[in-house]
Each structure stands twice: as structure tokens, then as C-alpha cells.
Amino acid sequence: MIGYFPAGYPTVEDSIEALVAMAKNGCDVLEIGVPYSDPVMDGVVIQKATEQALANGFKLTQLFDVIKGVRAEVDTPLLVMSYWNPVMRFGERKFAESLRAAGAQGMITPDLIPDEAGTWLEVSSDLDLDRVFLVAPSSSVERVQANTNSSRGFAYAVSTMGITGERTELDRLAREVVEAVRDCSDVPACVGVGVSTADQVREVNSYSHGAIVGTAIIKAYEDAGLDGLVGKTRELAGGLG
């Protein structure tokens, strides 16, 4: 199970505490989100959380403080999820070097395609960082091949068209996306967008290499603080038993 939580939400120290708790209560990989002013893929819950982080003064340089803070407590693999504009402004090589120095294993890039990722492909290979590209139900065969074969670590299989958020039923499209990845590569495929229950975690893991959960965990934190987050993480991880 891969658990998503935004850096700096609601504060830097709070996000470190939340991510550590997620790792200690069932998440096998942590996905640390970078708050961004134009989160085109994110649903309302994640948008609200990242907006709060930005309103509370979160700066991109603090991402590396969050990574260091989490890494000091747990050895769980850490992936950063970032839209590409902040990375470009920071400097792609400098960002990658800072990721590695802080203790992260790589990055998920939802709005970047390999055709436009020359520097990132080069520097991630140089620094042995994972790079995760997205594959969607709408992706052409050529796009599936390009994004999957350029991924290191795993490919992110988007379960349905649209933005992130809880859904009562995962689309059949999720299986088709995973099958498309398998048809062209041995790279693992993990499914995200809409996974929100232990049953869905179990279902997704029956045909893919992992389930990615964000909205359900953040909503639990929003509703009941750290105790709510811990309870929801344990509940979701129950789907792996």
C-alpha cells in the first residue's frame, strides 16, 4: 500500500508526524505531495489540504525538511509527487540532488511525459532515483509503451478518468490499464485514483503490484486528526492481510 500525504499540511511538523504514523501503521511506501497552486489532477480534499499548506506559508525548500524528518524516524521508501512547474523553477538537477540528499527514492510526475523529460531522465539515472510516469485509460498504445518503459520503480496506473477522490466502485478500466502495462513491460504497475477502502486495496492488489491511497487518508485526518489518520491507515492496510 502506498499512502499519499501533502508536505506542509497543515504545517511542516504536522505533515512529518502524519507521514511517520502512516509508515508505522501499514503504508509500505510513502508518497509526499508538493503543494501547488494549480493541482489539475487533484480532487477537492487534496486541493483543500494543499491550499491550507500554502496558506500556512509552505515553501518548496521545506519539502526537503519534511523528507529528512520522516527519514529520521522510518526507513520506508519515499517518493515525492510533484507537478513539473515547481521542479523546473527550482532547477531539475538541483531538485533531484536535493531529493537524494534528503533521503527520498524518487518522484512521481503526473503532468510530465518522457518526450519532455530529457533532463529528468538523465539526472534520475545518474542519481539512481525512481521515476514514475502515469498511464491512463485514455493513453494510446504508444503512450503506454513510452511512459511505462521510461518508468523506474513502478508505473502509476490511473484507475479512472478524472481527478483523485474516493469512489464506491473502482472502474474496470483499472484492470485494463494494468494489463496494458504488462503487455509492454515488466515494470510493476500500481493503481491509484479512487482507492478508499480495505476491500478496494485487496481487489487492486489481486491484479496489480500495489494500491495508492490519498484522499481517504487525508479526509480521515481532516475529520479526526492523527488518531483518525492512524485508524484509517490500519483499516486500509487490513486489505493486505
Residue keyed to cell 504545517: 11
In angstroms, rounded to a whole number, what is the distance separating the alpha carbons of residues 7 and 98?
A: 15
Phi, psi of 113 (to 5 degrees): -115, 155
Chain mean position to CA 40: 15
In angstroms, rounded to a whole number, what is the distance separating the alpha carbons of residues 2 and 137?
A: 21
Residue 112, CA atoms < 13 Å, CB-side half-sphere: 25
Q: Quick one: which of 43, 44, 50 has its CA closest to 5?
A: 50
Residue 120 predicted with pLDDT over 60: yes
Question: What pLDDT does residue 87 have?
Answer: 97
Q: What is the pLDDT of residues 138-194, one digit of tens each?
A: 899 999 999 999 999 999 998 764 545 555 556 678 889 999 999 999 999 999 988
**Domain 2-240, architecture per CATH:** Alpha-Beta Barrel (3.20)
Question: Could you list the active site residues?
Answer: 31, 42
Q: Given CA atoms 201, 228, 153, 193 in this order, what sign does their dihedral have?
A: positive
Return all residues near 55 (Cβ < 8 A) that are at least 6 apart. Answer: none
